[in-house]
Each structure stands twice: as structure tokens, then as C-alpha cells.
Structure 1
């Protein structure tokens, strides 16, 4: 009796797989590039340290935050778009380089008003 139930079960499982296609593989992630074809995130990452820190101080100052100079910067994660920049005095800012080349600056620094 056990054998007679086992054979139809195997047949049902074999038929269940017929006609179904495997799920397509996910598309590889495309690098984010601006409309002009420039990959600004890669361009910033490829800069020498002094030039990259210069880009970051400009972004920080354009955001209206005080910074006398960027003393160090380091990439955060694998995306190439997030950086941590440390200003003289120890204040750190997180800078996100967008695909269009704009930079968004986030900070926990308290400014005097």
C-alpha cells in the first residue's frame, strides 16, 4: 500500500516542474551616471586625497556649515557615493555624491546662531 501512494506522489512532483521556467537572474547593477555620461561618484573616488578633500570642503561650505579645512576623508560602504569628511577641530560630516554630481551634506555638528 505504501508503494502505491509513493508512485503517484513522485509523478505529481515530476509534473509540477514541467513547463515552468526558472526565475530570470537579476540584472547587474548599472553604475549611476549623469545625463552627460559622467560617473561623478567614480570620478570623486579616483581623485587624489588632497583634491578630494578640496571637493568636500567646498560641499560643506556650500551647505552653509563652518569648516576651515578637511583633514581626512574616507569612503563609507561599497557604493562609492557616501563619504565621511573630518574638518579641522574634529567635526565630521557625511557627504553623499549624487549621480548628477551634486553633493548632499549631513552633519550632527551644532552651529552657533
Structure 2
């Protein structure tokens, strides 16, 4: 799994779509490290989907929008969700309280079409 930071978590619902599709290699400390889990827990589903979308795109994965997300058991002690993208791909996103997200494809998920 690759690890990426969720930067500017509060601005995530306003994040624009797009990107080159290549995975970044750097991680950055989020602006408000330490309260990420509480902030995500307080979000409605649309806001949470925007955060998960940003994590998926930052990981270089194909997704133009998260249509729904479901909480799943914690992964390595980190809260986790399965996000379903508009292309019907499914991604497991585990987010630590430090704001670092780990993104991995869900086994059995259809592979997104090449662009």
C-alpha cells in the first residue's frame, strides 16, 4: 500500500477533479495533524466521499468521483472505508490520525478501463 497525506482536509469537498494519474512519491504533513479521525467522523457522507476521493487520486488511482463509501473494520488500528468510484472500482482507504491515508484496491473489484 502506498501512503499519502491528506492535505487541507477542510478544503477537500471543494477539490477539483483531474490529474495526470501518476502516483506522487512525496508525502507532506497535513496542516492540522492529530485530529483527522475526529474531523472525518464529524463529516456527512458527501464530505467524507470528497476526502476519500482526494486520497484515491493522490495515490494515482483512476477515479473521477466517489459515489458511496462504507465504513469497514479498522486496518492496522486505523479507521477504514471502502470507497466506490464512478467507474465501479472499489478502494480500501485507511486513514491515520496523522492524516496519512493508505489506499489499496479491493480484491475482486473490476479493473478500471485504461484511459
Normalised by the size of structure 1, how large is the TM-score?
A: 0.59
1:91 shift after superposition: 0.6
Unaligned runs of 5+ in 1: 1-35
Rate the CA distance shift 1:37–1:93 in 2: closer, same or farther, 3 A. closer
Please list the CA deviations of residues 62-98 of structure 1 after superposition, one character each: whole Å capped at 9, or x if unmatched: 0001101100001112666111100012110000101
Task: Indicate the structure (1 or 2) with the bigger Cα radius of gyration.
Answer: 1
**Larger RCO (CA under 8 A, 6+ residues apart):** 2
| 1:40 CA displacement | 1.3
| Residue correspondences, number | 79
The more displaced of 38-47 and 59-68 is 38-47
Moved segments of 4+, more than 6 Å: none
Closer/same/farther in 2, CA of residues 75 and 50 from structure 1, 3 Å limit: same
Q: What residue is the counterpart of 2:102 in the other structure? A: 104
Cα RMSD for the two superposed structures: 2.5
Note the residue ranges of structure 2 that are not aligned, 5 or more in a row: 1-31
Query: Which structure's residues are more often strand, by fraction?
Result: 2
